[in-house]
Structure 1
Amino acid sequence: MTDTRTVSFDLHVHYSQAYLVDDTDDAMGPDGIPDDHPAHPVGIIRVDDGGAFLITGLHTGTVGFSVTVADHDPGADTDGYEDIVEISFESEAGQVSLYEWGGGGVHELPVLPAGPGWYRLRYHAQNMDEAREVDTSNEIIDRYLLQIWPQDESTPRVVKSASGQLAYWRRPR
């Protein structure tokens, strides 16, 4: 029997940022934009000590956001999204939450199925370029899907790349 749970919500962003934070007592989330993987850059999601930094196309406003937590790889939605990237993430608590920029809101997520340990994050994005052009909106232009499942640490990878925003964020800085 497989266990898959999905939650969806409007996510309010500022500076094109949101944060996945491990629910340990000392987890604060990324402090600034973490460096991308030097050999395998994925651009729009970066991990650092108990947190993941997620980048959106919209600078300020509301984006559509869904998170699927599963006990197995749920499969990438290659038909529904323009950009899809993956990266490994280690959870000390076995529970994570999604934070809006500046502590504006916290979205509790389903408990991670394997408890503490390594997980794979697959971040899907749609309409990042259109949202970047608009810059600020409370109407949903771009939308995102973050999938999380247990998997040993592995190399980050780009599954699908179509937007200028993903190309921009993958450039060396």
Structure 2
Amino acid sequence: MTDLRTVTFDLGVHYRQAYLVDDTDDGLGPDGLPDDHPEHPVGIIRVDDGGAFLVTGLHTGVVGFAVSVADHDPGADTDGYEDIVEVSFRSVAGRLSLHEWGGADEHELPALPAGPGWYRLRYHAQHMDEAAEVDTSDAVIDRYLLQIWPQAESAPRTVKSTSGQLAYWRRPR
């Protein structure tokens, strides 16, 4: 049986940005958009020391967001989302939070089941193209699911790719 804890909330975004932050004393999250993996680009989630940079379709407004923390791989929701990508992430503190752009708000997340160490982040996206066309909205258009579970470091991968937004963010810059 999987130990699965999920939190859901509306997430305020600006500049299509949100940040997963390792709760160390100096963990402020990525400073700007980190480079994508050169051989395995996933585009909409980029990891850097102490955090991950998450891209949304909506430029400014509110997106639907859920974070599930599990003790092992909970499986991708390939029927419920258009785009799904995965990356490895190393937590130093064993605690994470999700931050809105500019520090506007911080969302506490369930404790990581294995404490400090390597985890897999699976980022699901729905309606990114529609939200990008609207650009600004206080009504939820796009929604996201971030799954987190302990797993040894491995190469990033794209599980499912259907949106133009994911294709755009995966392009070399």
TM-score class normalised by the smaller sequence: over 0.9
Distance 2:28 2:126 in 1: 28
Distance 2:97 2:28 in 1: 11
Match of 2:157 in 1: 157
Distance 2:168 2:2 in 1: 37
Match of 1:138 in 2: 138
Structure 1 segments, 4+ long, off by >2 Å, are: none
Match of 1:82 in 2: 82
Match of 1:62 in 2: 62
Shift in Å at residue 17 of structure 1?
0.1
Shift in Å at residue 50 of structure 1?
1.1
Shift in Å at residue 2 of structure 1?
2.7
Describe the SS at the equivalent of 1:131.
helix
Q: How many residues align?
A: 173
How many percent of aligned residue pairs carry the same amino acid?
Answer: 82
Distance 2:112 2:77 in 1: 21
Tell whether 2:114 aligns with 1:114: yes
Structure 1: runs of 5 or more not aligned: none
Match of 1:22 in 2: 22
Structure 2: runs of 5 or more not aligned: none
Distance 1:2 1:88 in 2: 20
Shift in Å at residue 76 of structure 1?
0.1
What root-mean-square deviation, in Å, do the aligned CA atoms of Structure 1 and Structure 2 show? Answer: 0.4
TM-score (norm 1): 0.99
Measured against aligned partners, the alpha-carbon deviations of 1:34-79 in whole angstroms (never above 9, x if no partner) come to: 0000000000000000100000000000000000000000000000
TM-score (norm 2): 0.99
Measured against aligned partners, the alpha-carbon deviations of 1:140-164 in whole angstroms (never above 9, x if no partner) come to: 0000000000000000000000000
Describe the SS at the equivalent of 2:12.
strand
